[in-house]
Chains A and B, each alone.
Chain A
């Protein structure tokens, strides 16, 4: 990126800028003509100049030009023009004037659009360049970079620059030439008037920006002064006690008074300047016509200037100030934007960036990193200069399984990070398979080396997407798309230095992974998850996931079968009372009143929360079923209890969120409703209040909330209303917002678990949940659905930063992401700390077996954990020592790989 904004703009938009220049130049003759035309209208048409010698007709719109002398001279007339009378000439010329206005407008439009497109393209390029630079930040730079700042710079701060880019060259040219044309026109009409106008414009052009600059400087001073005032007031308020204890009020008053005076002074000066600028601007704008009228009129009377010229000059002069004003604005904007650009460039020009050739994808694959690791006189210090790793040299064969152990110091982790090139500021040399670590292209390193740290970086998205993050290095196959949209997209990308890769392309090299397609890859993912004990978790995610009957018809069909099988199996075990199934003809006691009424799962907002209570279809069903008043009464009873028991909890208290029917901030509203009921009775409630109460009632579940509000009559009435509701819903606009329960069909909107149960687990029976889920699990296994369920689980959304996963699950994702790349070298640096001791040991053992023929480097807590590793590095402070090392790689390798093949049966 260039240090100067203008050079940057010019480098990447030369062609477009020149094209716009050409259009600007082409527009000038028309502009000039439009200035000239009023003169002809006044002189020839209105004053009758064209009919001076008593001619009855004049010719209009003659197209002719003079031949140059070398072609023999003379004139060629292409069109001899229309013959018109005076009125005709007036209208003809006026129409011409109108046409010119339109042409000028069209030019302006074209230029503006081109400028806009240019600005947007440059903005896109600038943003992308900044982002690319971010990707090149070295690990040490990244420590000092604030992510939110970088994001705002790329998003917000470059925006005004982008807006300016389109104007950067074109605006001064366009406005300048326009002003110059008008100026030239005036000069041609009359030199004196022209000089007069030029003098006034000159004054305006020189004086105003200077005055404005003073004004700006004062404005900045004011901003700083008022910021200081605010800070000072805050200080005084915070230290109020000291102020009173020491009787310093008079002092503080004087201090603030002083500041206010300074502020007043600044503000007053700003006002003076502001209005002075306005005054001078106005004066100059008004005084010139005065001079024109006076001097122009005098010249006209003297016969040195005709009336038409005078009118045209005044018209042309009217066109002068706007471009000038915009030019002055442009100049200010330029200063402003250049400052902003400099700031941004400083942010994005750290001392060291990763060299481009390391990041670029080379055409050739230099082969795996399956070779010895040689570290020569490695010395690493932290930014403050304290030594983390003291002069350390060692050599390891390949394959090797190395444990690095320390006494809690930063040494082991630093070494591991250096080996993974996550720490790039070191002295000495690291080579892997004979290649300098610092120069290995990222595409190679990313492919053959995996590093799992203690803080997994997860992206929002599905579990699957996070697991395969390391496989999507570059598109392996482009999906051809030659539609006009795609072509345009590609062209724009090429014009702005953006990549043409599309997210829709095929990014995963299935062949390399030994699978056929995405489904096969799922199998690989599940196997890898199983190896670190995460399959059960994925199964549970699967039960929370949704099954689409359209995308997964097989599974959907089997789910309905599983539903039936579950019922019989529960009955066989005598625990069918643990699940109350959804029966269209019965009230489900374990579900809320609302669920019983709707008997389906909401897809849109119309049937969730308050929406349910105000939905016309619901209300109609309630009133036809004669339930409205009952629900209002139930709502009032719930309100009474809730206001009683939650009144003393502060708003936002976790218990509120978890248990109360009523939001903390709505509690006062509900208390008001209760007061109204107490004063005037239930019947007096208005619609809004009734809706609120009904909303509460719809959430009520008798066995859970135990307020004793339901009886058999109500239950029957609700089941009856359910049928009415279905009739009303059918064909209404809300029909698509509710996925109705149907025993023979999968409910797309409900999680898989709900679909399997097709009912509710009974409240208040000890261990009901786990017992039922045990049976569900048995049914899933019996029907061979487990893997399908797990595949649904791979679609689980992990949330921002993986927040919806437990720490050990995040660590698992991190690990599996590394494993499925099948790296030659795997470096574990605290990747297992989220696991319990026992589980960490099991995973370690699994990895040791898996990496028998490869390289595994693990940072461990103590030597006791290092059992089974071939090599051991022990840190004492910053001093390290290679304690144990396999004699030679070769002899062990054969035995090792044979054993590995037997034990693990391949990996991935």
Chain B
């Protein structure tokens, strides 16, 4: 798999959908492709957030530490992004992510990502749009659950 195929994957990610291919290539090039074996940790809840990951192959699980043990809250698959909230909000990891199968992911360093957002407003807007959409969805869900 080469840079070009990674760019293809990035284009499938909603957050990056509208971004110039050249920018995505820069994002992919500055990123690092990482292999995880099944069961290996991406990061643990409470760790400092240092990177976001785009899953290129395989599946991963998101779990929360609860008093009664780990609670699985989501499953991640190809083209999902994880960990981006932590690097944007500069807060520790809110959940633990573990590879469920062998996973290949693109690791995007926090500093590099922020640097790119700084440099290219287009990217910042794309990220904001995605975050706003998520907020809207959450709001809608709240309304539904309250009604």
Does A766 contact B40, Cβ atoms closer than 8 Å? yes
Does B29 contact A705, Cβ atoms closer than 8 Å? yes
A883 to chain B, nearest CB (A): 39
B108 to chain A, nearest CB (A): 12
Question: Which segment, of B9-17, B69-77, B88-96, B111-119, faces chain A?
Answer: B111-119
State A17–B112 Cα separation when bound (angstroms).
68
Q: Which of A633-657 contact B (CB under 8 A)?
A: 641, 644-650, 653-655
- What residues on B are CB-neighbors of A763 within 8 Å? 32-33
Closest to B32 in A: A764
Does A654 contact B115, Cβ atoms closer than 8 Å? yes
Closest to A654 in B: B115
- What residues on B are CB-neighbors of A648 within 8 Å? 22-23, 119-120
Does A706 contact B6, Cβ atoms closer than 8 Å? yes
1/0 contact trace for A654-665 toward B, CB 8 Å? 110011000000
Does A706 contact B22, Cβ atoms closer than 8 Å? no
- What residues on A are CB-neighbors of B33 within 8 Å? 703, 706, 763-764
- Centre residue among A645, A649, A764, A767 by max chain B CB count within 10 A: A645
State A648–B19 Cα separation when bound (angstroms).
14
Does A646 contact B26, Cβ atoms closer than 8 Å? yes
Does A706 contact B25, Cβ atoms closer than 8 Å? no
Closest to B3 in A: A706
Flag whether A484 is at the interface (Cβ < 8 A): no
The contact of B22 among A647, A655, A658, A707, by CB within 8 Å, is A647
Closest to B34 in A: A766
- What residues on B are CB-neighbors of A650 within 8 Å? 119
Flag whether B68 is at the interface (Cβ < 8 A): no
Does A659 contact B2, Cβ atoms closer than 8 Å? no
Flag whether A708 is at the interface (Cβ < 8 A): yes
Flag whether B143 is at the interface (Cβ < 8 A): no
Chain B interface residue count: which class?
20 to 34
- What residues on B are CB-neighbors of A55 within 8 Å? none
Flag whether A765 is at the interface (Cβ < 8 A): yes
1/0 contact trace for A736-770 toward B, CB 8 Å? 00000000000000000000000000011111000
- Given contacts A706-B3, A707-B2, 12 further A-B pairs with CB under 8 A are A641-B29, A644-B22, A645-B22, A648-B23, A653-B119, A655-B116, A658-B30, A658-B112, A706-B28, A764-B34, A764-B35, A767-B40
- What residues on A are CB-neighbors of B142 within 8 Å? none
Given A764-B33, A766-B40: A644 and B25 interface contact (C-beta under 8 Å): yes
Does B112 contact A655, Cβ atoms closer than 8 Å? yes
Closest to B6 in A: A706
B45 to chain A, nearest CB (A): 17
- What residues on B are CB-neighbors of A647 within 8 Å? 22
State A704–B30 Cα separation when bound (angstroms).
10
State A707–B115 Cα separation when bound (angstroms).
23
Given A706-B2, A708-B2: A645 and B26 interface contact (C-beta under 8 Å): yes
State A654–B113 Cα separation when bound (angstroms).
12
State A708–B4 Cα separation when bound (angstroms).
9
Closest to B112 in A: A655
A484 to chain B, nearest CB (A): 59
A-B interface contact total, Cβ < 8 Å = 63
- What residues on A are CB-neighbors of B6 within 8 Å? 706
Give chain A's interface residues, CB within 8 Å of chain B: 641, 644-650, 653-655, 658-659, 703-708, 763-767
State A240–B60 Cα separation when bound (angstroms).
62
State A504–B32 Cα separation when bound (angstroms).
50
The contact of B3 among A649, A653, A707, by CB within 8 Å, is A707
State A653–B116 Cα separation when bound (angstroms).
10
Q: Which of B19-73 contact A (CB under 8 A)?
A: 22-23, 25-26, 28-30, 32-37, 40, 42
1/0 contact trace for B114-130 toward A, CB 8 Å? 01100110000000000
Does A641 contact B25, Cβ atoms closer than 8 Å? yes
Closest to A704 in B: B32
The contact of B36 among A705, A706, A766, by CB within 8 Å, is A766
A794 to chain B, nearest CB (A): 30
- What residues on A are CB-neighbors of B2 within 8 Å? 706-708
- What residues on B are CB-neighbors of A659 within 8 Å? 29-30
Closest to A767 in B: B40
- What residues on B are CB-neighbors of A706 within 8 Å? 1-3, 6, 28-29, 33
A861 to chain B, nearest CB (A): 25
- What residues on B are CB-neighbors of A703 within 8 Å? 33
State A703–B33 Cα separation when bound (angstroms).
8
Closest 9 A-B residue pairs measured CB to CB?
A708-B2, A645-B26, A764-B33, A766-B36, A645-B25, A706-B3, A766-B34, A765-B35, A706-B2
- What residues on B are CB-neighbors of A705 within 8 Å? 3, 29
Closest to A655 in B: B115
- What residues on B are CB-neighbors of A654 within 8 Å? 115
A469 to chain B, nearest CB (A): 35
- What residues on A are CB-neighbors of B25 within 8 Å? 641, 644-645
Closest to A644 in B: B22
A43 to chain B, nearest CB (A): 93
State A407–B5 Cα separation when bound (angstroms).
60
State A707–B7 Cα separation when bound (angstroms).
12
The contact of A649 among B32, B34, B119, by CB within 8 Å, is B119
10 A-B contacts, Cβ less than 8 Å apart?
A641-B25, A641-B29, A644-B25, A645-B23, A647-B22, A648-B22, A653-B119, A654-B115, A655-B30, A659-B29
- Centre residue among A706, A763, A767 by max chain B CB count within 10 A: A706
State A763–B32 Cα separation when bound (angstroms).
8
A760 to chain B, nearest CB (A): 15
